[in-house]
Structures are given as C-alpha cells and as structure tokens.
Structure 1
Amino acid sequence: MKNILLACSAGMSTSLLVKKMEEVAVSRGIEVNIWAVAQDKAPSEMEKADVLLIGPQMRFMKKKFSVVAEQVGIPLDVIDPMAYGRVDGGAVLDKALELIGE
C-alpha cells in the first residue's frame, strides 16, 4: 500500500484530483491511500506519506516542504500544471509512483 499526500492552499481544490487518482488506481489494480490537505497540515501529514505532491498554485512552498520531507525521508514535487488543470488522475498517479520508485 502506497500513501500519496497532496497539498494545496485549502485542501479543497485537490479533492477531485484525489478521486480521479483513486479511480485510475482501482482500474489498474494498484493499492494506494491518497488524501489531500491544506498547506498548514502538510508538514504533520508527511510522516504518514510515501510521497508529497504540491498543487501548482503552491510551488513557492516547495523549498519549505523540502526541509520536512527530507527529515521524514519522502520525495516531493509540484504537480504538473497541465495535469492538474485537466484533473488527469492517471498522470498525477504515475508521477507519484515514479517518485516513490514504483
């Protein structure tokens, strides 16, 4: 089971993306736990995650989150703006799995 954390400004804009990612994972037979949180909750949630993906509107937070991600030993990246805008669950799931090393 892979744990994928998404972070955005308020935790709301990524909720649809989470649903799309879950649908793709089910169709591919991949066991994942995907959840989204607001930026202020991301540091504490990182301890439960295998990877953190940040909404493109928060790319300026990458450096701050990198410090915590390094401490807990997880990779992180910014979600591709095109995939985010299209709510492309498959592309975002693929990126998360790639970062985890799957």
Structure 2
Amino acid sequence: MIKILISCGAGMSSSFLAQKLQNACIEKGLDQEYSFDFYPIHMAGVEAVNKLKEYDVCMVCPHLRLFVKDLCAKQNVTTPIYVLPPRMYGTMFLDQVVTDAKDIVEGFKQDHMNPWHFPGEDNPLKVRRRFAYRNQDQDKE
C-alpha cells in the first residue's frame, strides 16, 4: 500500500482533498492499494519530520514551497515531499495523483532529492499541468 499525505498550511483544504481522494479510492476499489491522509506540516514545524515517517510520500500545496525547501534544508527528511503544481492541486484527479505519487516514490529511491521534483519542474509555480508528469501530453487545451 502506498500511503500518501496531503498537506496545506493549516489542514483546511488538505483535509477536504484527502477525503475526496480516499472516497474515490473506495469507490474504485483501490483502498487496499492507496491511502490518503492530511496533516498541516506547516503548523507542525519540525515535528512534521516525525509525522512524515508514517507515509511513503507527502504532497503539499504550492504556497508551502518555501517552507518545504527550508524544512528539507534544516532537517533530515526521509520521506519525499513534493510540491504540487497549482493546477494539479486545484483538480486532484485520483488516477493522476496516484501516478505521480508512484513516480515520486521511485524517483526518491534513486536520488533522495528533497523536496522532490520532476525534471524541469524545480519551480512548481511555473508548472501548468493538471495531469501526472508522465501523462502531461494529455493536458493540452
């Protein structure tokens, strides 16, 4: 099972999104393969590092990018943290989030980069896709 933590600043939007994704997992019969939870890592500060150890990947809202960068620079964060592109955070399609989560976990095993990002996406605010990195060609409008 891949355990995915969704996080925003105070837990308001992340709690809604995590519940939406968990419900979609249940509806599609994928709740034995993936689980979603939320946690406000920004409010937790350095205590977040211990919470992150319970998950395979943490996906955070775009406005936490500077906090995440600072947290990873100052602490030994052993769970990949991925700052979601703004459009993806706004839509959160289950299959696309899961695809990215799997790719992030595998990529992190290889390079241990944290915060983790896909090639060419080191600034999440410039990323315009709504779909998973490997499916971004589907995102042409």
Q: Which runs of 5+ in 1 are unaligned?
A: none
Matched, 1:98 2:103: yes
CA shift for structure 1 position 90: 3.0
Range moving further from structure 2, 1-10 or 36-45: 36-45
Question: What's the Cα RMSD here?
Answer: 2.3
| TM-score normalized by the length of structure 1 | 0.77
Q: Percent identity?
A: 26
Secondary structure of the structure 2 residue equivalent to 1:99: helix
Deviations 1:4-37 (A, max 9, x none): 1122110111122112322443416352221111
CA shift for structure 1 position 72: 4.7
**Corresponding residue of 2:116:** none
Deviations 1:43-94 (A, max 9, x none): 23111111111111211112123244xx352212101210111243332232
Q: Structure 1 residues 94, 23: closer, same or farther in 2, change over 3 A?
A: farther
Q: Structure 1 residues 2, 87: closer, same or farther in 2, change over 3 A?
A: closer
After the TM superposition, which residues 22-61 of structure 1 pair with which residues of structure 2 at under 5 Å, given as runs? 22-26=22-26, 27=28, 29=30, 31-38=33-40, 39-41=42-44, 42-61=48-67
**Corresponding residue of 2:7:** 7
Amino acid at match of 2:7: A
Partner of residue 66 from structure 1, selected from 64, 72, 84: 72
- With a CA cutoff of 8 Å and minimum separation of 6, indicate the structure with the bigger relative contact order: 1
**Contact 1:5–1:34 (8 Å) recurs in 2:** yes
Q: Which runs of 5+ in 2 are unaligned?
A: 108-141
| TM-score normalized by the length of structure 2 | 0.59
Partner of residue 82 from structure 1, selected from 82, 87, 96: 87
- Using the alignment, how far apart are the partners of 2:4 and 2:98 within structure 1? 9
**Contact 2:2–2:35 (8 Å) recurs in 1:** yes
Amino acid at match of 1:11: G
